[in-house]
Amino acid sequence: MMARTIVPFGPQHPILAEPVRYTLELEEETVVGVDFELGWMHRGIEKGAEQDYNKAIFMCERVCGICSGVHSMTFVGCLEKAGDIPVPDRAKYLRTILLELERIHSHLLWIGVAADAVGFQNLFMLTWREREHVVDLMEAITGNRVNHSYVMPGGVRGDVDEKMAKHALEVLGAVEASAKFVADQASHDRTLISRVKGVGIMDKAMCLRYGVVGPNMRGCGIKQDCRSDGYEAYKWLDFEPVTFEGGDNLSRVMVRVLETFQSIELVKKCFKQIEPGPIMEEFKGGINGEAAYRCEAPRGELFYFIRGNGTKVLERVKIRAPTLANLMVTRELLLGEEFANIPVTILSFDPCFSCTER
């Protein structure tokens, strides 16, 4: 029997922005055993959100530093479901615009981080330059780069006028043209392809067995997207979820690249279909009963559950972030991989540990 080496990977590792500890068992260069530990980022947000729901929105928004808008959106969705709060159509479109802008920014950010992990600094700089325009656009619409504080029960907190809409379409047009060029070039790059093609192959059966969600699932050719449920304005936007066959790292990259362009199209469609009207219906009162709501975050299905007792203070808030569903499969997926491919394969799942541990 060959000697086995145990290599700790994390909690501090150059490619990981957030702490997770992988314990890898190696036989020479091949991984034969995988285990991981979570719990370095626990902040007790679920407990902290058991307060006045108007204050808890801002607490839930701080679960994630990248997709904060979708967290507040899902929480507010729960409140609206439990309290039967009507939402104007214009507010629904504006929320959809925010969610899609956030998806563009998150995917561009991830492509940059992944490029950095494989040593492609040029691509990292180019994608982050495009991302900056999208983030500036969100700042102009909502008032802040990351913690938007835009969605409230009954509507949104700021309107988009004609001038701003025109500016947004110009920015998105420029981002699309530039990102298309970079994506075309990078997807034919020999060095990049050799790092990601045929590495970390996850077949459909494995994907379904572990309940993988989001772009990682769609990278296996499974056509499923929470946006197809038709929450907010998605029911009026005719679209098909992006899928890519293969299930390897390359297909997970390609799904995100294609989704970025799809999101740009969806934002353009929203601006075309949006009609003037009110953006907020004031709601005051307690929340009674239970409600669950799910949204498609940039990393997959995000699930919130709340229980109220008729007052403004919530009894229970449960948050299930997409990375928790995506992580479990790595225990099987990493087996038999070369050690040098482990960082890229873990990153290809776009893990966000601060979401997972709340």
Contacts of 10 (CB under 8 A, 6+ apart): 16, 19, 20, 21, 22
CA dist., res. 246 & res. 250, Å (int): 8
Q: Which of 1, 188, 240, 284 binds other proteins (CB under 8 A)?
A: 188
Q: Is residue 176 near other proteins by the rule CB under 8 A?
A: no
Q: Which of 158, 180, 268, 313 binds other proteins (CB under 8 A)?
A: 158
Q: Is residue 354 near other proteins by the rule CB under 8 A?
A: no
Q: Is residue 5 near other proteins by the rule CB under 8 A?
A: no
Tokens of 265: 């199209």
Q: Which amino acid is at 71?
A: H
Identity of the residue, 192 or 255, whose beta carbon is nearer to other proteins in the bound complex: 192
Identity of the residue, 60 or 342, whose beta carbon is nearer to other proteins in the bound complex: 60
CB of 184 to other proteins, least distance (A): 8
> Nearest CA to 294 among 231, 236, 356, 241?
231
Q: Which of 29, 30, 177, 181 binds other proteins (CB under 8 A)?
A: 181
CA dist., res. 168 & res. 272, Å (int): 12
The count of residues interacting with other proteins (CB under 8 A) is 27
Per-residue interface string for the shown chain with other proteins, residues 190-229, x marking contact by CB under 8 A: x---------------------------------------
Task: Break the chain down into helix, strand, coil percent, rounded to 5.
Answer: 50, 15, 35
Q: Which of 186, 297, 306, 344 binds other proteins (CB under 8 A)?
A: 186
Q: Which amino acid is at 132?
A: E
CA dist., res. 210 & res. 191, Å (int): 31
Q: Where are the beta strands (DSSP E) in the chain?
A: 4-9, 21-27, 30-37, 151-152, 155-156, 288-297, 300-309, 314-320
Q: Is residue 157 near other proteins by the rule CB under 8 A?
A: yes
Instruction: Give 155's strand partners.
Output: 152, 280
Tokens of 39: 């719990």
Q: Which of 81, 129, 316, 320 binds other proteins (CB under 8 A)?
A: 129
Q: Which of 5, 30, 185, 309 binds other proteins (CB under 8 A)?
A: 185
CB of 144 to other proteins, least distance (A): 6
CA dist., res. 353 & res. 358, Å (int): 8
Q: Is residue 189 near other proteins by the rule CB under 8 A?
A: yes
Per-residue interface string for the shown chain with other proteins, residues 95-124, x marking contact by CB under 8 A: ---------------------------x--
Among the candidate windows 53-61, 203-211, 215-223, 332-340, which touches other proteins by CB under 8 A?
53-61
Q: Is residue 149 near other proteins by the rule CB under 8 A?
A: yes
CB of 317 to other proteins, least distance (A): 14
Instruction: Give 288's strand partners.
Output: 309
CB of 222 to other proteins, least distance (A): 31
Under DSSP, the state recorded for 98 is H
CB of 150 to other proteins, least distance (A): 10
Phi, psi of 31, deg, nearest 5: -80, 125
Q: Is residue 23 near other proteins by the rule CB under 8 A?
A: no
CB of 335 to other proteins, least distance (A): 33
Contacts of 12 (CB under 8 A, 6+ apart): 19
Q: Let me know: does 319 contact 294? Beta carbons within 8 Å.
A: no
Q: Is residue 144 near other proteins by the rule CB under 8 A?
A: yes
CB of 268 to other proteins, least distance (A): 21
Tokens of 202: 């996850």
Q: Is residue 284 near other proteins by the rule CB under 8 A?
A: no
Q: Longest Cα pair distance anywhere in the chain, in angstroms?
A: 73
Q: Which amino acid is at 242?
A: V
Q: Which residues bind other proteins (CB under 8 A)?
A: 54-55, 57-59, 122, 126, 129, 132, 136, 139-144, 147, 149, 157-158, 181-182, 185-186, 188-190
